[in-house]
Structure 1
Amino acid sequence: MAVGLCISHRIADMHTISSFMSTWAMACGGSIHKAIHPCVDLSSIFPPRDLPKPEPPVRLMIGAKYVTKRFVFDRQSIAKLKAIAKKGGFDSKREPSRVELVKALVSIALLDVAKLKNARSKPFRISHMSVLEVKKLGLPVLVSLMRDVITTSLAKLVNVIDEENLGEMVMYLVREFQEELRKGEANVLLFTSWCRFPLHRADLGWGEPEFVSSLCSPFDSVTLMDHKEGDDDGGIVAQVSLTEGDMDLFCKQHDILQYASYKYKA
């Protein structure tokens, strides 16, 4: 039995969807009284404003055939990647997270794919909460860059005065990202993380799900999620959506073959 959920991103993000699934599971188990009842009066938090309409976050390649494969990085692979990052000079009081490590490794493989395809070298921008430009490859370098950019972005939230100020900051980042897309001068890698969302524990009455996935994206993207057999600090599944040709090249990358436990179509 399969249960599917389809909802507009204008209404819900993954945090909202995860909360909905958890509440649904509570209702099925007879404990709806324990559920969190969120405020749905969004206009009280973000009053209506005349804001520019955001464009799609990526260019859709009309007519291109996309495929999605899942690459599993188990606990042992994460430990090896962490050791490589630390040995390579990753300097931080907090160890690199499994999301940062897998995101950096997948990025390196995708950058290599782009190099094989393009005769002319182009800069790369990785988007996940914020945008960073990649000038030098290497796991320790990429992990450090990601940590620095995300830390800087989160630090800006401290200066947010009210909901209007927050809205302006978000729209500025969106416009900055869209401008990079319009220029077409850089390869853009789009990531999102579903890690630590309890999707594998949403028991609707038949037991916990054996498989959790999203549909194939009609654009280049990578979704990270917890591996069912692991805990919150265990393995990670990287669900990668690429065109058929790019996926063939991606699957041949040494770093992916070395650390991904197995791969299969979603």
Structure 2
Amino acid sequence: MEKQNKMNSSNNNNHLEKLNTILIKPSKPTPLHLQTFKLSLLDQFSPNYHTNMTFFYPNHNNNNNTNNHFSDFSNKSKILQNSLSQTLSHFYPLAGRLHDATTIHCNDDGVFFIESRSTTTLSQILTNPNFDALECFVPTTEEKRNMLLLLRFTLFRCGSTAITTFVTHKIVELNTLIIFLNTWAAITTGNEIPLPDLTVAAALFPPREVPDVSGSVKNSNAKFTTRRFIFKASKIEELKVKIKNKFEFHPSRVEVVLALIWKCALSASIAVSGSKTTSFRRSILFQAIDIRTRMNPAVPETAVGNLAWPFWVTVEEESHVAIDEMVKIMRKGKMDFIENKAERFKEEGGFKVVMENLKERVEILKRNNENKGLVVYNSSSWCNYPLLEFDFGWGKPVWCSSVKNFAINLIVLMDTKNGGGIEAFVTLVEDEMKLFEQNQELLHYAVLNPTILISTSKL
């Protein structure tokens, strides 16, 4: 572990002061035969940008002395740095550098562990979550450099803490991030270590010489914003009851919530477009799906890499813009993907399937740029993932969030802390969001950005 020069820069807008930036290297050098890590074909097509997630940990210590807070924070930080170094020995590609389109050079150059201090309390964050304010946890351009992984450990004025992960999408999607965090937490607390499988992805999907289509995600010129909505379990059931007689299957809570959000977002888009286009706007919804469990035999859950792939569904006509119709379309699209595409991914013709699938996506997005009457949304469901279970020795996080500051028309769903409900993060163009967040059908089932209730007063 090497400590960079101490930096005391602060941002008056986000009240976050950077204390130290420490370079963490694997505790054991990566063996020579492992120093060239092959990306899988799916990794090759994954966009070359970083995703972030911040986990908030309440302070359960009754001592409110600020000096004690900082001393406790420093001790925790040293423990995390030590266990992170050990974790990187198992996730050695993350401590390397991207070499070319198909390989990572596992040279043990290390990752940055950034210590920060906030002038706010955790209760201020949780009382009214603000995604503009939460963006302060995302590393700056100076901090990112060419690293595949960065971590930020933040101390709040109340003694609570936050851990932020900032990791490349080149080899890490949600399931891989969970594998990493589970391993790090297990090493920190001395529990059994769930080791990652680093070889299966490239074995199933060998890298190929293909055009570089991943690139970097480009920001839209339009101003966009994110809002948080809570769908209580009772309201989700009410929505299901309203439409249940129209199905031959039992719709999932994710399907009905996603359909409602899609419908209301499209309604806002149509209203903003006004007479500039036709009254109806054709819409496409992309949904990411984990293919580990969709293949036969199933791929181990500990497999590292982008073993997720999007499928998409389309609203072709105005009569389809109803929640029950949208749910039917989504279910049909998902089953078609699972039954006709997922298994073919690892057959002899897997490369052909991937390329055909990719070509379709590129053509859709090209049409989106050319045809202003087409509205494209991207969605991910984090439901049923253990996002609030990572215990590093001082309890589990009370909330987690991700700042999506790179594109518009994003819908991310995750479980509420008490289970059964769904927390939705929706990113839209500002003009459309003004209408979306006032949609009465949406607000009948969802609450806009309620306080995150915590059973302690020491936040």
Deviation of residue 59 (structure 1)? 6.2
8 Å CA contact 2:413, 2:425 repeated in 1:
yes
Measured after TM superposition, the shift of residue 150 of structure 1 is 0.4
Supply the distance in 1 between the matched residues of 2:196 and 2:350 (Cα, whole angstroms). 24
Percent of aligned positions that are identical: 30
183, 187, 194: which one aligns with 2:367: 183
Aligned-partner Cα distance in 1 for 2:215–2:242 = 36
Quote the residue 2:415 is aligned against.
226
Query: What CA distance in whole angstroms lies between the structure 2 residues aligned with 1:83 and 1:261?
Result: 19
Matches within 5 A, 1:39-188: 39-40=198-199, 42-55=201-214, 60-62=219-221, 64-87=222-245, 89-92=246-249, 95-118=250-273, 119=275, 120-121=277-278, 122-128=281-287, 129-134=310-315, 135=317, 136-157=320-341, 160=344, 162=346, 165-184=349-368, 185=371, 186-188=374-376
Q: Which has the larger radius of gyration?
A: 2
SS at match of 1:150: helix
Which piece of structure 1 moves more, 166-175 or 210-219?
166-175
Structure 2 SS opposite 1:6: strand
Secondary structure of 1:144 counterpart:
helix
Aligned length: 258
Distance (Å, rounded) in 1 between the aligned partners of 2:213 and 2:350 = 16
Tell whether the 8 Å contact from 2:231 to 2:423 is kept in structure 1 after alignment. Answer: yes
Q: 1:40, CA displacement in angstroms?
A: 4.0
Shift of 1:67: 1.9
In the TM superposition, structure 1's runs of 4+ consecutive aligned residues that sit over 6 Å from their partners are 56-59
Q: Name 2:80's counterpart in structure 1.
A: none
Structure having the higher strand fraction is 2
What's the secondary structure of 1:205's corresponding residue?
coil
Partner of 2:427: 241
Residue type of the partner of 1:133?
Answer: T
Which of 168, 180, 195 pairs up with 2:383? 195
Shift of 1:58: 7.3
Structure 1 residues 265 and 5: CA distance shift in structure 2, 3 A: farther
Distance of 1:21 and 1:58 partners within structure 2: 25
SS of residue matched to 1:54: coil
| AA at the equivalent of 2:311 | S
| Deviation of the 1:256 alpha carbon | 1.5
TM-score by length of 1: 0.89
8 Å CA contact retained: 1:57, 1:178: no
Secondary structure of 2:352's match?
Answer: helix
> Residue in 2 aligned with 1:263?
449
Cα 1:143/1:211, change in 2 over 3 Å? same
Q: Can you give the 5+ residue segments of structure 1 that lack an aligned partner in the other structure?
A: none
TM-score by length of 2: 0.53
Give the 3 Å change call, closer, same or farther, for CA 158–247 of structure 1 in structure 2: closer
**CA root-mean-square deviation:** 2.3
Specify whether residues 31 and 59 from structure 1 end up closer, same or farther in structure 2 by C-alpha distance, changes over 3 A only: same
Take 1:151 and 1:57, find their aligned partners in 2: how far apart are those partners? 30
